[in-house]
């Protein structure tokens, strides 16, 4: 029997999933074996991961042009600013029910707990009163987030929606996969990869600037491609540097990511925390907010521990997994950083 793990690809989300649900392709050699088993590999992967735009998809409507222009004209406030994205995928079969609620919770948390001015918090959701979370809009909003960043700035990027992964053939990822987030139009416009996110909001960070990314999606563990990942089991930082040697750090600032789960895990929506048992919300977002509300000066380590404990509780009540392959594996929140720091420091935005 071949030692190569069999992989399948979802026709909707284009995610590769191993039969055992956990193992990734561990090396370039193993990936090469997998490619050799496919028919017409170049055509195969082109179809899988390089969505061709539908006719006229590059031609923006007047409304889309106006929306992009309004994002470009957002005021670049000093100090604290945030971009919050919630993607529900309305009218699509992989619709999520709790993402708008997640964004509302995050906006309230930033305002009440961390004194972010309402004018410095910009929201992208599928409502006419806000820019929609299309690929172009998210990319433009992320550019705004780090534009003219200065020492003392505290920046936040929050995303609630689907996350996927696709094979990396450039020796850029330790596990052989690029992690992605899915805009509302990802089937035609494509996904936003960890490389894209790193280039846009990590590399430009100047000395004295701190960025926190809070990502509530599947496969989000290293979604910012940061070089250090904290192991809660070993109580130490692990090296996540790119095997290719490409620099993925900042321009002197500090980037921190808190993700819903490890790269090979699925995140969950759940109503387990709702008083009425009906309101769906991201398990990661709820437990994140709960930990900070109960103990405002909680440390990074304490935050992870509290989230893990509450997710275990919710697991017993029932999860609705965000992935299209419903593998029952408990999500583990992940902390990553552009540099090693003391996780016993208080979490502050």
Distances 160 to 174, 286, 313, 343 between C-alpha atoms, Å: 25, 12, 21, 24
User: Sign of dihedral through CA atoms 65, 69, 72, 76?
Assistant: negative
Query: Around Cβ 295, how many Cβ atoms within 10 Å?
Result: 14
Per the annotation, the verdict on 218 as an active-site residue is yes
Residues 6+ apart with CB under 8 A from 231: 237, 238
3-state secondary structure of 194: helix
Per the annotation, the verdict on 132 as an active-site residue is no
Q: Are 226 and 338 in contact (CB under 8 A)?
A: yes
Beta bridge partners of 159: 85, 215
Helix 283-294 with 99-114: angle, nearest 10 deg: 20
DSSP letters spanning 91-125: TSTT--SSHHHHHHHHHHHHHHHH---GGGEEEE-
Distances 328 to 23, 271, 288, 315, 325 between C-alpha atoms, Å: 14, 17, 21, 10, 9
Q: Catalytic residue among 218, 219, 254, 261, which?
A: 218
Q: Catalytic residue among 13, 85, 122, 162, which?
A: 162
Residue with tokens 């709820």: 286
Indicate which residues carry an active-site annotation.
Answer: 162, 218
């Amino acid at each position: 029997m071949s030692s190569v793990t069999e992989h399948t690809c979802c026709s909707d989300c284009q995610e590769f999933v191993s039969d055992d649900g956990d193992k990734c392709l561990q090396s370039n050699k193993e990936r090469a074996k997998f490619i050799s088993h496919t028919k017409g590999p170049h055509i195969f992967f082109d179809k899988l991961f390089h969505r061709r735009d539908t006719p006229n998809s590059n031609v923006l409507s007047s409304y889309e042009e106006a929306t992009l222009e309004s994002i470009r004209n957002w005021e670049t406030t000093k100090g604290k600013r945030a971009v919050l994205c919630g993607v529900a995928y309305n009218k699509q079969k992989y619709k999520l029910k709790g993402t708008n609620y997640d964004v509302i919770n995050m906006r309230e948390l930033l305002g009440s707990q961390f004194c972010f001015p309402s004018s410095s918090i910009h929201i992208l959701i599928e409502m006419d009163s806000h820019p929609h979370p299309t690929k172009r809009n998210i990319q433009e909003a992320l550019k705004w987030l780090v534009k003219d960043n200065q020492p003392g700035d505290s920046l936040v990027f929050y995303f609630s929606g689907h996350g996927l992964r696709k094979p990396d053939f450039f020796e850029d990822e330790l596990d052989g996969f690029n992690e992605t987030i899915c805009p509302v139009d990802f089937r035609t416009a494509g996904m936003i990869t960890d490389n894209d996110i790193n280039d846009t909001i990590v590399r430009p960070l100047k000395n004295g600037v701190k960025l926190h990314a809070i990502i509530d999606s599947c496969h989000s563990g290293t979604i910012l491609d940061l070089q250090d990942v904290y192991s809660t089991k070993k109580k130490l930082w692990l090296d996540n540097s790119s095997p290719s040697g490409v620099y993925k750090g900042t321009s002197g600032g500090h980037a921190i990511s808190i993700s819903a789960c490890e790269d090979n895990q699925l995140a969950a929506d759940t109503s387990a925390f709702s008083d009425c048992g009906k309101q769906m919300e991201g398990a990661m977002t709820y437990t994140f907010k709960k930990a900070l509300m109960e103990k405002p000066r909680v440390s990074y380590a304490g935050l992870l521990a509290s989230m893990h404990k509450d997710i275990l509780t919710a697991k017993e009540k029932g999860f609705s997994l965000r992935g299209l392959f419903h593998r029952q594996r408990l999500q583990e929140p992940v902390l990553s950083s552009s540099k090693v720091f003391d996780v016993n420091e208080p979490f502050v935005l």
